[in-house]
Amino acid sequence: MSIGILGTKIGMTQIFDDKGLTIPATILQVGPCTITQIKREIDSNHANIQIGYKYIRPDKINKPLQGHLKKNNLPCFKHLKEYKTDKYNELNIGEIIDISKINTNKHVNISGVSIGKGFSGCQKRHHFSRGPMSHGSKNHRAPGSIGAGTTPGRVFPGKKMAGRMGNKQVTTKNLAILNINTQNNILTIKGCVPGKKGNLLYIYQK
């Protein structure tokens, strides 16, 4: 069954296997989440499942969200997220989704906002090669030509230039699960995930 759950990045560490090899690992605080809405599609066998994460006081969210959650006698949540599944008949509004629902034998996809690097040049942002560094050269880290003059007479959208780097929604796919601690809701993932410590992450498993 497809499962979606929200969590927080704690940090990275390393684990040694039986052969003594080092495995990079990321530790996540995952769930528990509550199902707040089930939207069934009439012409499809799928349904959108909305989950809530992290309890919050009612005065911290707007009135429409308060009414949306109060309709089903649910507490207020700081984060809401939807995911699609075809096994919606097994789920109910108000049901708790915790880390025990994740299958350790399958891989997971994790989405989050990457670390922002600020305004960066072409070499750092797009890995451009530099110009000659010898005496007399005035093109060391400059981007160079960005297009023709008269025709087309403009710069095409999407041109690789200097600009803000990072701070984008990134998804890392097919991450292996190293360990699950159901008592403390701790999930250990092989490799790295987007974002810095404390970032909100979305974990999805088909």
- CATH code for the domain in which residue 17 is found: 2.40.30.10
Instruction: State whether 105 and 158 are in the same domain.
Output: no
48-91 pLDDT, tens digit each: 889 999 898 988 888 988 898 888 888 899 899 988 888 777 78
Q: Residues 6 or more apart from 16 whose CB is under 8 A from it?
A: 22, 23
Torsion of CA 81, 87, 90, 95, to 10 degrees: -10
Distances (CA, A) of 59 to 33, 35, 67, 110, 175: 20, 21, 12, 31, 38
CA distance 47 to 189: 28
Instruction: State whether 42 and 133 are in the same domain.
Output: no
Number of domains in the chain: 2
Instruction: State whether 110 and 160 are in the same domain.
Output: no
Domain interval for residue 39: 3-120+168-205
Instruction: State whether 148 and 47 are in the same domain.
Output: no
Sign of CA dihedral 165, 169, 171, 172: positive
* pTM for this model (two decimals): 0.81
Instruction: State whether 103 and 200 are in the same domain.
Output: yes
% of the chain beyond a pLDDT of 90: 49
Inform me whether the pLDDT recorded for 1 exceeds 70: no
Instruction: State whether 34 and 44 are in the same domain.
Output: yes
